[in-house]
Amino acid sequence: MWFFSEEEKQIVEVARSFAQNELAPYAEKHDHDESFNLEAFKKMGELGLLGITAELEYGGAGMGATAATIVMEEFGKACAGSTLSYLAHSMLCVNNINSNASNEQKAKYLPKLISGEHIGAMAMSEPGNGSDAVGMKCKADLKNDHYIINGNKMWITNAQYADIVYLYSRTGDKRNDLTTFIVETKNTEGYSVSKEIHKMGMRSSPTGELCFENAKVPLENRVGNEGDSVYHMMKNLEIERLTISGISLGIAQACVDQCIKYANEREQFGKNLGSFQMIQKMIAEMAAETEMMRNFLYNVCYQWDQGKVSNTHAAMVKLQLPKMATKIALDAIQLHGGYGYSREFPLERMMRDNKLNEIGAGTNEIMILIIAKNLLSQ
C-alpha cells in the first residue's frame, strides 16, 4: 500500500520470505495430519514477529494494526491454520497483556511469549456461550490471596500447547461482572485441556476445550480490577477483527495467484485456458475483488493506528472480507474443475480454512447486528 512505512515494507519482505520457506512447504501435511507447525512457530519468535504490537522494552516491535495485518496476509497466503495460531498468540494473548496488564505482569510474561519460549492463548467462548460472550458462566471466587475458578472454555486456539492463557471469567452476578486472569497452565492445579476439537478447516491450528475445576490462580495474576474485562474484550476485538481479515485477504490473493498460474498452463480444446473469455472474466473479477479487500482493510488499519476507528469500521471489515474470500475460493475451485475439488491443489483447503473467518472473532450475523445498531442509533 502507498502509505506503508519503510519498516512496514520490511515486514512485508520478512513475512513473505518466512511464509514461503517455513509455512507453505508444510501446509498440506499439517492440514492432513491435524498437526501444529511448532518449529516454524518458534522461528517466528527469533524474527521478532510474535510481539509485533508489544512494547519495545519487553522485546516487542512496538508497531500497530497495519504491521500485524501485513503478517497475517503474508502468512495467510501460505498456511491459514498456522496463521490462526499466530493470531491467537500475538493478538489475543500478547496484545491483550501488553494493553491491559500491569508493568510487573508485562515484565514477567511478555518476554518469553515474544521470544517463542512460551505459547499463548485466550479463553473467552464457552460450550454454551459463543456469540453471547458476556453471558459466560465460568466463575472465579476470591479466597484470601487467590481465586478459585470453575468452568469450561470452548474453541480455544493453541489450547494443547499453551503455556499462558489469558482468561475471562465471571466474578459477580451482574452481566458485566467479568474479570481477566493470566493463567500459567503448567503451574495451575485443577486446569486441564479436557477435549481436542477436530475441525473442517484450520486443521493445522490446534483447538481444544479448557476445564477449570477448582483451579487456584493467585490474586497477583488478576489483570486490572474486578469488572474491567468487558472494556478490554471489546477493544481487543477490534484489532482481532482487522487482523483475522488479513488472513482472508491472504487466502483470496493465493487463490488469484493459483488461478492465473493454472489458466496459463492448462490446455482445453487446443488452447490455453486463459484464452477463454469466461475464464478471463472469472480471474478479472477475483483480482478486482481482492484489490478492493486490500484497500478497504489497510485503510481501516491505518485509521486504527491513528486512533480513528470505531467498532463499526472493524465490524464492516470483518463482515465483508471473509465473505468475499469464501466466494473467491469457491470461484477458484470452479475454475479448476475436478482439480480444484481434489486435494491435489490447495484451493479446497483454502476454502475450508477461510470459512472459520466468517465465524471466529464474531460471526457474520453479529457483525451485521453491530453495524446496524450503530448506524441506526445516530
Which amino acids are annotated catalytic?
240
**Calpha distance 69→363 (Å, rounded):** 19
Q: How far is CA 42 from the centre of its chain?
A: 17
DSSP per-residue string spanning 35-102: ---HHHHHHHHHTT-TTTTS-GGGT-----HHHHHHHHHHHHHH-HHHHHHHHIIIIIIIHHHHHHS-
Q: How far is CA 310 from the centre of its chain?
A: 19
Q: At what angle do helices 277-305 and 229-265 cross, to 10 degrees?
A: 150
Tell me how many degrees the CA angle 271-276-278 measures, rounded to the nearest 5: 150
Residue that the C-alpha cell 475450508 belongs to: 352
Cβ atoms of 181 and 223 closer than 8 Å: yes
Helix (H) or strand (E) run with residue 222 in it: strand 222-223
> 55: buried, middle or exposed (CB in 10 Å: 19+, 13-18, 0-12)?
middle
- β-bridge mates for residue 276, sequence order: none
- 125: number of Cβ within 10 Å: 20
